[in-house]
Structure 1
């Protein structure tokens, strides 16, 4: 029963990726608004990294271990981003898919953490869960808007985000199983990996995307996203 609960939690927490992705198909969002939303999402992610992922990573492991796994997260993102660039190029679809790669590098470790927390009986942080759900909206809306403009149809976009969401559900289930098999599994390293991958994605993909489309308002939206997420953690 708890295994199914972990799968459902991981899927529901990341379901906003699919919902926001489909919204971009049904509703034409002005370019400036897409940029502002991307900036808001970037701010929310920075806050989640600072107040959730990094503190989560340091509960049971040393600082050097956190740093090591953050660098692993950077390497995973860069490898995925490089593969995307080779297939789609660095602009247009390639730039959008770079943000999708960041969603995977972010969502899978987060979901592992949820599964481990269920397995260990740790209280799920509602503020962190809300931050994950809300920050996913611009993280999916921004690249989806570009993919739609590049000719992607609803079926292809649905499959893309559905695979990401289901992968996160499976990751949560695996996190639960890991907590059963490994008594010392706490999700610390997964949190650090997600933090490193997210920071790299923010610099390489989402924040340039936000400024390119939202101009000076992207910076203001980033601060608003950061502050609202920070208040949610208070």
Structure 2
């Protein structure tokens, strides 16, 4: 349990680091876009190799498909609700970090409890992708008039919830079937894919321009190499 708490804190800690970097200074749009693009590539790799593929191996295609649908619809619905109240890409990225972070880090905890050890590739993908999500979202939130303390509190809460999700996954591992674990993987993948297409990739392209595609490939290659 202590090990799950530690690794969960390591993975979620990058959200706080990204938040601190985002409010510390003005970052050039091109740099923010490039970092977002790199993180998008890493997340695409995580969806492909660490979430979808492993989910199918654990419980088959049906549980993953159900989880994929649930994750996509959950993110889509909540994103629209939040967007009406607090418009802006920053809010969408923060919501995405929470919705995909909870099941992603639960998967980390499940892996630890099952004796597989921590998945270095998934841990790296979570850490690498959290940074640009938090930096980009914090920059947008700051530009929208949110205060620095409120932005840092937001990331602190998201990081704590995601860390506890790792501990929760560890605790649930023995009581859940492979189908349930596969569904968790699918949920994370579905939420991630909608967030990527709706928020992260468009924001990266808008800020970085045409180099965004090349940097996305680089992020994918690095994360895929780790997996």
Partners of 2:50 and 2:121 within 8 A in 1: no
- Residue aligning to 1:220: 214
- Residue aligning to 2:43: 45
Aligned pair count reads: 227
- Residue aligning to 1:162: 156
The whole-number CA distance in structure 1 between the counterparts of 2:62 and 2:175 is: 25
CA pair 136-208 structure 1, distance change in 2 beyond 3 A: same
CA pair 180-61 structure 1, distance change in 2 beyond 3 A: closer
Q: How does 1:164-183 map onto structure 2 within 5 Å?
A: 164-182=158-176
| Superposed displacement of residue 181, structure 1 | 3.2
- Residue aligning to 1:9: 7
| Superposed displacement of residue 4, structure 1 | 2.8
The whole-number CA distance in structure 2 between the counterparts of 1:123 and 1:16 is: 21
Partners of 2:4 and 2:109 within 8 A in 1: yes
- Residue aligning to 2:187: 193
**1:64 and 2:58 are equivalent in the alignment:** no
CA pair 46-184 structure 1, distance change in 2 beyond 3 A: closer
Partners of 2:59 and 2:181 within 8 A in 1: no
Partners of 1:41 and 1:136 within 8 A in 2: yes
2:77 alignment partner, one of 61, 76, 79: 79
Give the TM-score taking structure 2 as reference length: 0.94
Partners of 1:60 and 1:186 within 8 A in 2: no
Partners of 1:41 and 1:225 within 8 A in 2: yes
- Residue aligning to 2:103: 109
**1:153 and 2:117 are equivalent in the alignment:** no
CA RMSD of superposed structures (Å) = 1.5
The whole-number CA distance in structure 2 between the counterparts of 1:61 and 1:182 is: 11
Structure 1 unaligned regions, length at least 5 = none
- Residue aligning to 1:96: 90
Moved over 6 A (4+): none
Partners of 1:47 and 1:226 within 8 A in 2: yes
**1:129 and 2:145 are equivalent in the alignment:** no
| Superposed displacement of residue 205, structure 1 | 0.5
CA pair 202-70 structure 1, distance change in 2 beyond 3 A: same
CA pair 180-65 structure 1, distance change in 2 beyond 3 A: closer
Structure 1, residues 43-98: CA drift from partner, whole Å, max 9, x if none? 11111111111112112212122112101110110122012112113xxxx22111
**1:231 and 2:225 are equivalent in the alignment:** yes
